[in-house]
Amino acid sequence: MSASILVLVYLLLALFDKQHKHTICKGVMAFAILGLVLSDRSTADSHIAVQPTGGKDTLKSAFGEWFAMGAAIPGDDLSQAERQLLFRHFGTVTPENCMKPALVHPAPDRFDFAKADALVDLARGNGLTVNGHTLVWHQQCPDWFFRDGAQVAGRELVLARLRAHITAVAGHFAGKLKSWDVVNEAIDDGHDYLRKSPWLTGIGDDFIAEAFIAARKADPKAELYYNDYGIELQPKRDKMLRLLGDLKQRRAPVQGVGIQGHWRIDHIPFKDIEAAIVAFHAEGMRVAITELDIDVGTRATAGAESGTREQDAADPLANGLTADLQRRLADQYGQLFALFFKHRDKISRVTFWGLQDGRSWLNYWPSKRTNHPLLWDRALQPKPALAAVLAAAKAEPPNAPPAGSGPAAPPKASQGH
C-alpha cells in the first residue's frame, strides 16, 4: 500500500474520531514508513548490485547516445564494488578469456560454458549487452583442431571442425549476444598478407570468410566483427582494407572492424587512428575500439602479440604513478576520446580492456610489472583520466554530426549469406 493511500485513510478516520486523531496519525505514519522501507529493500534485492544514476558524470551517460561504452571482465567473479562500478559506467561487456576456444571447447567432444554463461547472465540481468570474444584465434586454441591422430589434419577435417565449433558456440549464445569478434588477429605483422597460423595452413586463405558465414548461420542477429591490433597503422591498414574486399567478394557477412587500441603513452598514433576509422567506415563497416588501454610502462614490444614475452625486470611503478604520468595519461585519454567523439557517427562501441588497473593484462604482459593503464586505480578510485574522458563529450568539435543523429550507422552493410 502506498503512502498516499495511507494518508487518505488517516483523513477519513479523523473525520469520525477527532479525539483519537493523534493516535491514528502516529499509527498510520509508522505503517507508511514501514511500507516505504520494505518497498526500497525489495527493489534493491531484485538486482545484483545497486545501479546509481546521474547526469553526464558516467561514461555511458556521456557517450551512450552515440556509442556503447564497455569493459572487458573475466567472468562474474567481481567484487560488489566492482559490480557497482561496472553497472554505473558501462553498457556492455566483453569476456576476456572464457569464450575462447581453449576454454569453451577443450576437447572434440567436450564443451564448458559454465563461466561464459555466468558472465552473460550477470550482464543481461543488469541491463548490459555482451560482445562475444572470440570464435577463431591462433592463440588459446587446442591442437586437436589441427590433428588427425598422429598426422596433421587435412583441409576438409579442419574446415569441418571450424564450422562445427562456431555452430556450437555461437549457436549456444544465439539471441543473447549483441555482437561477436568472429576472427581475431589473422593479419600478418610482417610482409605477408595473412598470419601463417594453423588456421591458414590447415584450411587456406578462405578460413576467415568461412568463419563469418558459419557465424551468421549460427546467430542471424549478432553483429559480426573482424578484430585486430595495429590495423590503424600502415601497412596493416591496407591489408585490412584488402581483407574487407576479399570478404565482400566471397559474400562473407562482415559488418564491423574492431581496432583493439592497445597503445603506449606518448606513442599514440592519433592521425593514423583517425585515418583508419574513416577508411573502414567508408567500406561500410561499423568501427569499434575493442580493447582500449594505455601502457604507462616501458617495453620493447611495439604490437600486442600475446605470445611475445620480455624478461621480467625492475618495477618502477609499484608504488603508483607520478604526478607527471597522471597528467600525461589524462591528456592522452582526453585526446583519444575527443577523436572518438568527433567521429561518433562512425563508431559503434569503445571497450576498455579491463575494469580497473589491478585487473589489466598489462601487469603480466609482455613482462610481469605493475601497470596503471585504465581510468580507475586498484582501490577503484577514479584517476584524472576519467575527468579528461568525460570532458571530451562536452566539447562539440568542428563538422560534428548534429545532435540527435544517433549512433554509428554504416553507409552500406555487407550482408553476404
Task: Give the residue numbers annotated as catalytic, written as ranges.
Answer: 185, 291
Q: Are 120 and 111 in contact (CB under 8 A)?
A: no
| Cα 378 to Cα 4, 18, 73, 332, 398, distances in angstroms | 45, 61, 15, 20, 37
SS3 of the chain: helix, strand, coil, percent, to 5: 40, 15, 45
What CA dihedral angle connects 245, 249, 255 and 256, to 10 degrees? -20
C-alpha cell at 96: 576476456
Integer Cα distance of 394 and 387 in angstroms: 11
Beta strand segments in 255-314, E: 256-259, 262-264, 286-295
Q: Are 340 and 347 in contact (CB under 8 A)?
A: yes
CB atoms within 10 A of CB 130: 25
Question: For residue 82, which amino acid is it?
Answer: E
Omega of the bond prior to 235 within 30 degrees of 0, cis? yes
Q: Cell 547472465: give the residue.
A: 121
Beta strand segments in 87-222, E: 92-95, 129-136, 147-148, 151-152, 179-184
Q: Are 317 and 297 in contact (CB under 8 A)?
A: yes
How much is the CA Rg of the chain, to the nearest whole Å?
Answer: 25
Integer Cα distance of 231 and 166 in angstroms: 25
CB atoms within 10 A of CB 302: 12
